[in-house]
Amino acid sequence: MIDSKRLTHLERLEAESIHILREVVAEAEKPVMLYSVGKDSAVMLHLARKAFYPSPPPFPLLHVDTTWKFKAMYELRDRMARESGMELLVYHNPEAQERGINPFDHGPLHTDMWKTEGLKQALNLYGFDAAFGGARRDEEKSRAKERIFSFRTSSHGWDPKNQRPELWNLYNARKNKGESIRVFPISNWTELDIWQYIHLNDVPIVPLYFAEERPTVERDGMLLMVDDERFPLKPGEEPVMRSIRFRTLGCYPLTGAVESEAKTLPEVIQETLLTTTSERQGRAIDKDAGGAGMEKKKQEGYF
């Protein structure tokens, strides 16, 4: 029998996340929310707005941009910043911009410079000492073992073997000068929790999560969407219209689509639950460095 006085597991997760968000605001000097415009960011932003309602959350949104995100992501980003009344900071690594770093010609350097270096530069520039990120444990193995309050050295490095104990809901935010923390308020959520929360709360998400006819090409077994004219087509190559959607969103040349007919949220959830492969399967970043890609990137300061 369902006892309505007890919280559902989703309500418990929501309460936990709101507690974390408020705890950081109480403890940190200058917090910021890393906003990447994906579904996890969407839920994290929704929770932040709820945690401080009716005021807007007392920190800005930071988008460490690569200039290679999907157009639809930039649209939703700007709309959400307007609607939430939060300040939106967009950071571009000037060196990456100058050198024209892109995912087609520069491989792993693209992520290193735009994202890892860009994030470090932005945090240093503004002097943020706590940065919320929308990572979840079930996404990737190095994220599974990372604490909710993840301490970074003054050079933003992460040492997986030197993590603080984190008991129950007691979070220790003390740090030395120059050190910072990455905080993951939705660490304990699963992919299904995220979808269900979006469904129950009508959280706005990028339309790319829903199936639609889109121009695609196939590269190395991945279906890539030709989102703008910068996509270098091979001689004789023509984009093919396919009904596709995305399980995760990143830079469009690095994010594989799945063929799908799921046009509504319950249909997307249904398809997600019926797939037998993990959500990050379509992400090129995880496969760098022989499967240890993410842990290495995190040690170097990737969020």
Answer yes or no whether residue 278 interacts with other proteins by CB under 8 A: yes
**Per rule CB under 8 A, is residue 160 in the interface with other proteins?**
no
Q: What is the DSSP letter of 159?
A: -
Pairing verdict, β 180-183 and 212-219:
unpaired
Cβ–Cβ < 8 Å for 130, 28: yes
222 touches other proteins by CB under 8 A = no
Nearer to other proteins, 8 or 154 (CB): 8
Q: Count CB neighbours of 275 within 10 A.
A: 13
**Per-residue contact flags (x/-) with other proteins for residues 248 to 267, judged by CB under 8 A:** ------------------xx
Q: Does 138 bind other proteins (CB under 8 A)?
A: yes
Which residues are bridge partners to 69 per DSSP?
251
Window of 49-57, 117-125, 133-141, 155-163 that interacts with other proteins by CB under 8 A: 133-141
Whether residue 286 contacts residue 294, with contact meaning beta carbons closer than 8 Å, is answered with yes
Q: Using CB under 8 A, pick the residue from 25, 199, 210, 239 that binds other proteins.
A: 199
Q: Where are the beta strands (DSSP E) in the chain?
A: 31-34, 61-64, 88-91, 130-132, 149-152, 180-183, 212-219, 222-225, 240-245, 258-259
Regarding 196 and contact with other proteins (CB under 8 A), the answer is yes
Which pair of tokens denotes residue 191?
């992919």
Q: Contact between 9 and other proteins (CB under 8 A)?
A: yes
Q: How far is the CB of 262 from other proteins (least distance, A)?
A: 10
Residues that bind other proteins (CB under 8 A): 2, 8-10, 12, 137-141, 144-145, 192, 196, 199-200, 266-267, 269-270, 273-274, 276-278, 280-281, 286, 291
